[in-house]
Homo-oligomer: A and B are copies of this chain.
């Protein structure tokens, strides 16, 4: 018992201090380590294996829509960055500047890419000539650097891993369609693979990406009721193509500017996954992205036949990501470790089970036990893993629904977001469309507009801030 306790005692209970709980889980489950430079993290094998699964699933979804992967330079000349005014103003305060190569100072400083709209635009300007060259649907998997002040593992770091898609199109309609399509890819990936439901919508002018004509977002709700922006898709119209001269000869023989999109998702979604699903015993990982789906733990493994049978079961499950824990630590220790690491399913097999020709399967998410005949283990595992994935999504959906409130008046809005409130989550409320109201709400309540949901409702006729006629329903929240 001492062993089991050890693990759990390392974690601050989630309801006592959510922030500390998150840090404890991330560190104790060996996902990351802090490095010597503030805001730069080491992603350890357990963390990177989740990212590899995410990459594989997301990359397949991209490729199914015709996207191709490329690799663009990591450094960007300052003059290239400056061609599009909004972007450089948005990113200048947070880029890392390279000023020397070897022993020589550079004649022009170069920034480590914070995002690559400028580099893709510069490339497309050289590479595209005719409507036959369009569309271009390129993506890259890489790391980017942004000199953030406050940093937290996965959620906000000075370097993070991500993918950035950059597409160009002959028409505005086609580019808009692609922007929406990729947002839907993100929403599907988040719900189907990470079991994280989201609210889809458009960012306000204040919150949109620097240089974009429109930014769309998928917003997830964490267990503590805070919002996490989990993926964004931007429509640039011809803003960049005019600044970088990306022109093509169209079917009508006229020179035209292309219409552009970009869309990105990062290691941040690992943070979302943790803050939606995990608990006081450690990680709970959805089966589809779990590095290990099933761990087999023999009980009294020195007793005759136990280890052999455990190996047999491992062999039966060889098409799964399965592990047999035959180390000499106690079963209790192994159970706790499996729970800490978030392995979705464990199989216990001991001398009594052996005699009865059975094994016990225990779910990580609910701790529910299922007895099953040994020869039926593969089908039972298949069924349970699907069930776990589905139940995790259902619970997260329920949490999202339960913590999405409506405010019909200024009073109600302020009450929900007040310090003494016990309602923590998204608040849907009407908005006049003025930035001044957004600014005031942020200043007074620390609340930001998360998005203008695609699914609009008319909750009242007036803005919850100024009382003027309302234009849109906005989803508000406190965000990570």
**CB of A182 closer than 8 Å to a CB of B:** no
Chain B residues near A112 (CB-CB < 8 A): 74-75, 98, 112
Chain B residues near A77 (CB-CB < 8 A): 36-37
A residues 57-95 in Cβ contact with B at 8 Å: 68-75, 77, 80, 92-95
Return the chain B residue nearest A138 by Cβ: B45
A70 CB contact (under 8 Å) in B42, B69, B100, B159: B42
**Stretch in contact with the other chain, from A118-126, A191-199, A293-301:** A118-126
* B48 and A71 contact, CB distance less than 8 A: yes
* B70 and A35 contact, CB distance less than 8 A: no
- In Å, the complex CA distance between A72 and B159 comes to 10
* B44 and A74 contact, CB distance less than 8 A: no
**CB of A142 closer than 8 Å to a CB of B:** yes
A residues 15-63 in Cβ contact with B at 8 Å: 33, 35-37, 40-45, 48-49, 51-52
With known contacts A33-B123, A37-B75, A69-B45, A102–B110 Cβ distance under 8 A: no
**CB of A97 closer than 8 Å to a CB of B:** yes
Q: How many copies does the complex hold?
A: 2
The distance from the CB of A128 to the nearest CB of chain B, in whole angstroms, is 12
* B123 and A35 contact, CB distance less than 8 A: yes
- In Å, the complex CA distance between A70 and B99 comes to 29
The distance from the CB of A14 to the nearest CB of chain B, in whole angstroms, is 26
* B71 and A96 contact, CB distance less than 8 A: no
Chain B residues near A36 (CB-CB < 8 A): 73, 77, 80, 122
Q: Which of A36, A80, A147 has the most CB of B within 10 A?
A: A36
- In Å, the complex CA distance between A52 and B141 comes to 11
**CB of A253 closer than 8 Å to a CB of B:** no
Chain B residues near A41 (CB-CB < 8 A): 73
- In Å, the complex CA distance between A36 and B110 comes to 11
**CB of A437 closer than 8 Å to a CB of B:** no
* A73 and B126 contact, CB distance less than 8 A: no
Chain B residues near A324 (CB-CB < 8 A): none
Return the chain B residue nearest A140 by Cβ: B48
- In Å, the complex CA distance between A43 and B120 comes to 12
- In Å, the complex CA distance between A84 and B343 comes to 40
Residues 303-342 of chain A, each 1 if its beta carbon lies under 8 Å from chain B, else 0? 0000000000000000000000000000000000000000
* A143 and B35 contact, CB distance less than 8 A: no
- In Å, the complex CA distance between A122 and B36 comes to 8
* B98 and A37 contact, CB distance less than 8 A: no
Chain B residues near A102 (CB-CB < 8 A): 92-95, 147
A103 CB contact (under 8 Å) in B51, B93, B145: B93
* A126 and B33 contact, CB distance less than 8 A: yes
The distance from the CB of A101 to the nearest CB of chain B, in whole angstroms, is 4
- In Å, the complex CA distance between A102 and B94 comes to 4
Residues 122-135 of chain A, each 1 if its beta carbon lies under 8 Å from chain B, else 0? 11001100000000
**CB of A161 closer than 8 Å to a CB of B:** yes
- In Å, the complex CA distance between A92 and B123 comes to 31
Q: Which of A37, A72, A142 has the most CB of B within 10 A?
A: A37
9 shortest interchain CB distances as A-B pairs: A40-B73, A45-B68, A101-B147, A43-B71, A97-B100, A102-B147, A99-B99, A96-B98, A93-B102
Add 10 more A-B contacts to A74-B145, A101-B147 (CB < 8 A). A40-B75, A44-B70, A45-B70, A48-B68, A48-B70, A75-B145, A75-B159, A94-B101, A97-B100, A101-B158
What are 16 A-B interface contacts by the 8 Å CB criterion? A33-B123, A35-B122, A36-B122, A42-B70, A42-B71, A43-B71, A49-B68, A49-B69, A75-B145, A94-B101, A95-B102, A97-B99, A97-B101, A98-B99, A102-B147, A142-B143
